[in-house]
Amino acid sequence: GNSVTQMEGPVTLSEEAFLTINCTYTATGYPSLFWYVQYPGEGLQLLLKATKADDKGSNKGFEATYRKETTSFHLEKGSVQVSDSAVYFCALPTSGTYKYIFGTGTRLKVLA
């Protein structure tokens, strides 16, 4: 079945540093891929998604490219801010169902 592996955290960066959070997947076919973010004290919310291979999702300065060759969907941001401190989850649907699989989450802490 489909699965997702996400880099472990926590990740601690200084403001304006470059961010990469790795996410790799195994899947039947080419399912949509998602990044969700959970800010402190808030519920999860969609950050970005890509619905087919080679697509790039982007939002709030974050980007992720759906790479079928490497089965990856790494999250990147060129210059992080303190307000980006949160937990980031990679996710994809299970094959043939409406269930979604979420990674274990990567906590990002950005220092001023």
Partner 1 sequence: GAGVSQSPSNKVTEKGKDVELRCDPISGHTALYWYRQSLGQGLEFLIYFQGNSAPDKSGLPSDRFSAERTGGSVSTLTIQRTQQEDSAVYLCASSFRRDRGTDTQYFGPGTRLTVL
Contact residues for partner 1, defined by CB under 8 A: 6, 31-32, 34, 36, 42-46, 49, 51, 89, 91-93, 97-105
CA distances 14 to 59, 67, 73, Å, are: 21, 28, 23
Closer to partner 1 by CB, 17 or 38: give it. Answer: 38
- Least distance (Å) from partner 1 to the CB of residue 76? 21
In terms of CB distance, is 17 or 94 closer to partner 1?
94
Give the count of beta carbons closer than 10 Å to the beta carbon of residue 9: 15
Q: Which residue number, 3 or 79, has a Cβ lying nearer to partner 1?
A: 3
Kindly tell me which of 72 and 102 has the beta carbon lying closer to partner 1: 102
Closest approach of Cβ 17 to partner 1, in Å? 25
Tokens of 43: 């519920």
The β-bridge partners of 35 are 48, 90
Q: Strands, E, within 1-112: which ranges?
A: 3-6, 11-14, 19-21, 23-26, 33-38, 45-50, 56-59, 62-65, 75-77, 86-93, 100-102, 106-111
Residue 54 Cβ, how far from partner 1 at the closest point, in Å?
16
We find the least distance from the C-beta atom of residue 31 to partner 1, in angstroms, to be: 5
